[in-house]
Amino acid sequence: MPTLFLLLAAMLIAASGIQADTPAPRPWNIVLIVADDLGAHDLGVTGSRLHETPNLDRLAAGGMQFTQAYSACTVCSPSRAAILTGKYPARLKITDWIKGHDYPQAKLRPPAHWTQHLPLEEVTLAEHFKGAGYATCHLGKWHLGGEGFEPERQGFDINLGGDHRGQPPSYFAPFGIPGLPDHIAGEYLVDREGEEAEKFIGAHGDKPFFLNYWSYSVHTPLQAPAAAVARYREKAAKLGSAQTNATYAAMLERLDASVGRILDTLESRGLSDHTLVVFTSDNGGLVLGGPPPTSNAPLRSGKGSEYEGGHRVPLIVHWPGVTRPGTSSAVPVMGIDLLPTLLEVAGLPQPGGAAKPDGVSLVPLLRDPSARLDRPLCWHYPHYHPGGATPYAVIRDGDWKYIQHYENGRNELYNLASDPSESQDLNGTQPAKATELARKLFAWHGAVGAEWPMPNPDWKPTPIAIQTDGSMLLHSHDAFVHSEVLRYEPQPFKNTLGWWVKASDWAEWIFDLPKAGRYELSFLQGCGSGGGSEIAFTVGQQQLTTTVMETGGFQNFTNRIAGHLDLPAGRQSLSLKVLRKQGAAVMDVRQLVLKPE
């Protein structure tokens, strides 16, 4: 019987024309190109009238554009970590560019232990591909940690130019970048990147490869060949477009040329039909300086911002035989989606456990431009940025975008379908939608373990102004918080001092009284199970003590009368401290009111 079975099987194989020793299909090569600080509308194919990007335009013409693609953060290091791991920056605790800006006089400090390198425990794209037999190369900017956290420690066989820095010392040789020794005096860095990419493909084209090309361009310092700068200066003067920076345009031209060099090399070596190429950016275009490098119009603001100009990026995917030439998708997608997408393209398993990504595979969209993908996207930036942004969180759900400002509790709500420029704040007219999105954002914070910005003990608060009726409203977002854990939690359904789990934490309000008098002090407090903590309100030598009531929930607020104070005119400091802590948390307190009698 076994002999008869083998004979029948051989006959069937012969009849079908299948060779018994037919090799398995070769896995897809992957080329991932990430520009630095490139805005969503900086390419010719995305609407720029000044910039010339013929090679990226042809990449888009042969593949798919995502017209509402987002970076995972408004600055570089967190976005790059998210691309490599598929995880939200908030989950990775990498929430600002490494090492970040310092604002010692700001109201808030960043989380005390935010991570300033990509942990070696994280499983990167390179490690997935290397484990599957791919040759792996990182080329260009890294900015995910210095010594001990280099690309070679994160799955890359070859590292050409990646180290701790976020920008090159110079775009002209000598570069001063480890891994890219100087060849020719005055050589342009981006041209050199293209040369190195071509060499890698030529040396490793006989086996599957992953080329992670993260160009230093178009990050500052703005430097480009003089002839190209002069040509774009002349062109800009004639156009009168929103984008006017000739040096930036020339830098982008050279980046486009390096992309063209990669595409031509793939073609000449017969690899184009089996190589997936992705092009994107790490955050929105920079709009600071004079003249600013670029304009993201009609999107609002730019790099560092909570608005669309800070997060929207180009995303082009060329997957031969799969993506239909010249197609586009308006589905909102994010950098966290690249890892699961590229792994599925390569036929590799999706990671689970601690390595499970937050992103989802975009393969269904790449196969069918009409496909949908319904899930919210979130951002958490507990830092200050030179562009003016204060710590914030954002959620986009469908057409709606909700912004939550950590510093003062201010919220914004926009409908991006009708208002892509975010010019009409609907927070006041759509309170139900604002609350719905705030609750989703709060749940996401918990799911990813987001770390909040904390009060700055060196902050000097501006005295609170007296109300028109003579009363003094001491709101939770105006408190000067002395704490390890206690913090202001933004509105609409929080809007309170919360996380009061340490008895040593306390809050202070500073205000000016125009005249002396007797004042009634009331406070709005909430408490779930575990009421009974004793608290004290103190102004100068006067102190009022009371016991926290259970209200059935920390956001179920009830108004309490603490007592009366005789206050002199002038500058006052009112403190709220714990005398005895009873339960797991003391209480939430939304506001205090001093009412003249």
Residue 431: strand, helix, or coil: helix
Name the one residue in this structure whose structure tokens are 């379908």. Answer: 417
- CA-CA distance, 243 to 294, in Å (whole number)? 5
Q: Does residue 405 carry a catalytic annotation?
A: no
- CA-CA distance, 200 to 550, in Å (whole number)? 67
**Who contacts 450 (Cβ-Cβ below 8 Å, separation ≥6)?**
90, 91, 380, 382, 393, 444
- CA-CA distance, 486 to 506, in Å (whole number)? 8
- CA-CA distance, 405 to 440, in Å (whole number)? 16
Identify the CA nearest to 106 among candidates 399, 389, 435, 518.
Answer: 389
Are the CB atoms for 167 and 230 separated by under 8 Å?
no
Identify the CA nearest to 72 among candidates 82, 63, 62, 64.
Answer: 82
> Among residues 143, 385, 405, 477, which one is catalytic?
143
Residue type, 320: P
Are the CB atoms for 498 and 508 separated by under 8 Å?
no
For the chain, count helices (H), then strands (E). Answer: 12, 28
DSSP letters for 456-524: -TT--PPPBPPPTTS-EEEEGGG-EEE-SS-EEE-TTTT-EEE----TT-EEEEEEEESS-EEEEEEEE
Q: Which two tokens stand for residue 163?
A: 């180290």
- CA-CA distance, 148 to 67, in Å (whole number)? 37
Whether the bond between 291 and the residue before it is cis, its omega within 30 degrees of 0, is: yes
Q: Does residue 143 carry a catalytic annotation?
A: yes
Letter string b/e over residues 365-400, b meaning 16 or more CB atoms within 10 A of that residue's CB? bbeeeeeeeeebbbbbbbbbbebebbbbbbbbbeeb
Q: Which two tokens stand for residue 89?
A: 């920056």
Beta 570-580 vs 534-539: how paired, if at all?
Answer: antiparallel
Name the one residue in this structure whose structure tokens are 């799955």. Answer: 155
- CA-CA distance, 520 to 565, in Å (whole number)? 6
Q: Give the residue ranges of DSSP H helices in 278-421.
A: 308-311, 338-345, 363-367
How much is the CA Rg of the chain, to the nearest whole Å?
28
- CA-CA distance, 393 to 452, in Å (whole number)? 10
Q: How many CB atoms lie within 10 A of CB 92?
A: 23
Residue type, 527: C
Name the one residue in this structure whose structure tokens are 């050199």. Answer: 192
> Among residues 73, 76, 137, 527, which one is catalytic?
76
- CA-CA distance, 295 to 285, in Å (whole number)? 7
What residues are labeled active site? Answer: 76, 143
